[in-house]
Structure 1
Amino acid sequence: MFSTIHDQFEARCEEHGEKLLFERRDQPDITFAEARDNVHRYVSVLSELGVRPGDRVAVQVEKSAEAVLLYLACLRAGAVFLPLNTAYTAPEVDYFLNDAEPRLFVCDPGQTAHLQRASASLSVETLGPKGEGTLPDRAAKATPSAEAAGRTAEDPAAILYTSGTTGRSKGAVLTHGNLASNAEALNDIWRFTGEDRLIHALPIFHAHGLFVACNMALTSGA
């Protein structure tokens, strides 16, 4: 039976909910159980903002535990996660938003110009590196959602834009099957288990930083 990255994360939460998932220097640590509760709250917020299965959620934020939890919430809700490089300029962001047509754009609280992008078809929320912003504020007041969109291996899970070295960047679609099989293979080959610790140094708009490192830790229970 096929299990998405989120399904496997939920299974690890059931197995050892009180185990630490995120150990942070200047902020409170987060257990697997606390992470799951927050993921379910973000799912409720996504629903409130009109995000439905198949909708794109574009995210241009600094790395944080909350940003990873938003990624998991998108997978649970059946949305398509679209991480954007934090160095992209406003014209570059214009291109990606026009091309991908997301339902929700999440940006850094300091990028106030992005708030003007909000329209009837695009919600704009903020999320900062210390878990501040309108999106986590909404999540703190939300009731955790017990609903999860059923996803198959063929359903899209994320979009990564190519570097655009020979033309405009193109959105490469990654399915739930792509992400799950990659994590399974690497956990097996690199012998990554729940007894391991990951020092995360890469950005999470990067394929390795999110779809390799984070997915391996989330699915193995590290």
Structure 2
Amino acid sequence: MGLNLATLLDQSARRAPDHVALRLGELAVTYAQLDDQTKRFAALLKSRGIQPGDRVALMLPNVPHFPIAYYGALRAGAVVVPMNVLLKGREIAFYLQDSGAKVLVAWNGFGAEAYEGAGHAGVPMVGAGPDEPPAGIERVEALIGAVEPLEGIHQCEPTDPAVLLYTSGTTGKPKGATLTHSNLLWNTEINSKMFQATSEDVMLGALPLFHSFGQTVSMNGMLRAGATLVLLPRFDPNDALALIQQYKVTLFAGVPTMYVAFLNTPKLAETDVSSLRLCISGGAAIPVEVLNSVGEKMARILEGYGLSETSPVASFNQPDMPSKAGSIGTPIWGVEMGIMDADGNLLPDNEVGEIVIRGHNVMAGYWNRPDATKEAMTADGWFKTGDMATRDEDGYYFIVDRKKDMIIRGGYNVYPREIEEVVYEYPAVLEAAVFGIPHDEFGEEIAAAVVAKPGQTIDVDELQSFIKERVAAYKYPRVIQVLDELPKGPTGKILKREIDRAPFTAGQPTSA
């Protein structure tokens, strides 16, 4: 049976060719125009010798060039390798070499690093965007304007790779999660219907399209529904609010730090956000305080869960079911989830274990990494997520923490997520991260990095007492540092591993 993820755009273009598919500033791109550009990009790849199954790397921000190249490559039967636009030359070379990419399409604004990485990997590069590309590099705009559109869509097998999504590499070099056409079509179809997306919807595309969340929920989901995607290349809460009001945005998908930013800008109170019917949160656990405030000041917000390896969505607080604050919801249609212990046994309700997932959304494996694939998958098809959680009697899952983030203090397990929930209740805290640091007596001690809300200050002793009153004695942070900002990934997710631990370990107390 032939299948291709690019058919979702093709079908929407046939249904409503003149409807606006994309907006970027004053630029409006209709479905017919977007479809034509993807056909031309497919023709360009074919003229350059790209064959079905070859990998095409994209290093593009949230601009129309991304979906043009993405669906164009898929049309030609190629495999898309989306890359973070902030990667450096050395990292770019690794992605290109590891994936075996045959060409790199890179935004000219990041051209120097891309050129360096492509040169080191021996991969041809094509530039995109208004800036001047590096010397000798051709512009994709001119190239696709000089070819005739390639009609038809290459029919792939459902199990053929469509996209290689590289994981963040928290435990070593990044690994390419191999997502098939079937993985992504199912995930897109189910999520689009779950959020009741129609051609009347307008979504603000603030999530990076090179990330799995932005790709499936924002781009693929909206274009499958024939909706309009308003692109925002770089998230700023004030810019985002202006776009919500200007284009009467109905759907917003973001990560918790984006919602924190909305709640802490004065512009929220001045902006008409009444067009919003639904906010979607993923990528990291959203503090209950933040979730409740968004629900009051913006729109109903639904929290979900997934990983690059699961296309990405695995569970959600679904619109037609009651939501539970602090929960990642229930599995989406066709997906099984369970709680597993260290011995591989599935656990009953209300016990802490590792989330495991099985279903149409689970990747085919890690690209050219059978060892890593075997480590991540059980013999009967469960994908081991590395996230610790519980499940209640109603089937709702509650993240406790990342398996690797769990702190063991004096023999007691402490889950940072639980402590962060309490820290966020402190009125002056904007952002927080709780983690373990080495300790001679207890093995690990609990530390917290916090950022104050604009115009406010945090009294560390007062904050510590606030937390101490609300959690068991072994759980409260003995070391708290106030920082100007916390390091974040491309989606705005707080990166605990990048926090400098030296100030936290120096002169730490040893009392229990």
- State the SS of the aligned residue for 1:146: coil
- State the SS of the aligned residue for 2:125: strand
- State the SS of the aligned residue for 1:93: helix
Name the residue aligned to 2:75. Answer: 76
Confirm or deny that 1:198 pairs with 2:199. no
Instruction: Identify the structure with the greater helix proportion.
Output: 1
In structure 2, how many angstroms separate the alpha carbons of the residues matched to 1:198 and 1:63? 13
In structure 2, how many angstroms separate the alpha carbons of the residues matched to 1:59 and 1:11? 24
What residue identity is the alignment partner of 1:88? L
What residue identity is the alignment partner of 2:52? P
Runs of 4+ in 1 over 6 A off after TM superposition: none
* Greater displacement, 156-165 / 7-16: 7-16
What residue identity is the alignment partner of 1:50? G
* Greater displacement, 89-98 / 132-141: 132-141
In structure 2, how many angstroms separate the alpha carbons of the residues matched to 1:41 and 1:70? 9
- State the SS of the aligned residue for 2:44: helix
TM-score normalised per structure 2? 0.41
Name the residue aligned to 2:123. Answer: 122
Residue identity over aligned pairs, in percent, reads: 30
Deviations 1:130-174 (A, max 9, x none): 8x9711210111111114211121110000111111111111100
Name the residue aligned to 2:177. Answer: 172
* Greater displacement, 117-126 / 174-183: 117-126
In structure 2, how many angstroms separate the alpha carbons of the residues matched to 1:140 and 1:162? 34
Say whether the 8 Å CA contact 2:184–2:216 is kept in structure 1: yes
TM-score normalised per structure 1? 0.91
Structure 1 residue 3, shift from structure 2 partner: 4.9
Whose relative contact order is higher, 1 or 2, with alpha carbons under 8 Å and at least 6 apart?
1
Say whether the 8 Å CA contact 1:62–1:129 is kept in structure 2: no
- State the SS of the aligned residue for 1:174: strand
Instruction: Identify the structure with the greater strand proportion.
Output: 2
Say whether the 8 Å CA contact 2:105–2:127 is kept in structure 1: yes
Say whether the 8 Å CA contact 1:55–1:80 is kept in structure 2: yes
Name the residue aligned to 2:186. Answer: 181
CA 1:125–1:113: 2 relative to 1, 3 Å = same
What is the root-mean-square deviation in Å for CA atoms of aligned residues? Answer: 2.1
Say whether the 8 Å CA contact 2:127–2:139 is kept in structure 1: yes
Name the residue aligned to 1:143. Answer: 148
Name the residue aligned to 2:85. Answer: 86
Say whether the 8 Å CA contact 1:159–1:171 is kept in structure 2: yes
Name the residue aligned to 1:157. Answer: 162
Name the residue aligned to 2:13. Answer: 13
In structure 2, how many angstroms separate the alpha carbons of the residues matched to 1:143 and 1:118? 29
Larger Rg: 2
Deviations 1:43-69 (A, max 9, x none): 111111221100001111222112111
In structure 2, how many angstroms separate the alpha carbons of the residues matched to 1:82 and 1:7? 19
- How do 1:25-104 residues align onto structure 2 when only pairs under 5 Å count? 25-26=25-26, 28-104=27-103
In structure 2, how many angstroms separate the alpha carbons of the residues matched to 1:81 and 1:49? 16
CA 1:100–1:147: 2 relative to 1, 3 Å = same
What residue identity is the alignment partner of 1:102? A
Structure 1 residue 112, shift from structure 2 partner: 3.5
In structure 1, how many angstroms separate the alpha carbons of the residues matched to 2:122 and 2:169? 27
What residue identity is the alignment partner of 1:170? K
Name the residue aligned to 2:365. Answer: none
Q: How many residues align?
A: 220
What residue identity is the alignment partner of 1:4? N
- State the SS of the aligned residue for 1:199: strand
Confirm or deny that 1:105 pairs with 2:95. no
In structure 1, how many angstroms separate the alpha carbons of the residues matched to 2:161 and 2:62? 23
What residue identity is the alignment partner of 2:161? P
* Greater displacement, 49-58 / 3-12: 3-12
In structure 2, how many angstroms separate the alpha carbons of the residues matched to 1:75 and 1:136? 18
Say whether the 8 Å CA contact 2:58–2:106 is kept in structure 1: yes
* Greater displacement, 92-101 / 109-118: 109-118
In structure 2, how many angstroms separate the alpha carbons of the residues matched to 1:112 and 1:124? 11
Structure 1 residue 121, shift from structure 2 partner: 6.7
- State the SS of the aligned residue for 2:108: coil
What residue identity is the alignment partner of 1:128? G
CA 1:172–1:120: 2 relative to 1, 3 Å = closer
In structure 2, how many angstroms separate the alpha carbons of the residues matched to 1:18 and 1:96? 37
CA 1:159–1:197: 2 relative to 1, 3 Å = same
Q: Which runs of 5+ in 1 are unaligned?
A: none
Say whether the 8 Å CA contact 1:62–1:128 is kept in structure 2: no
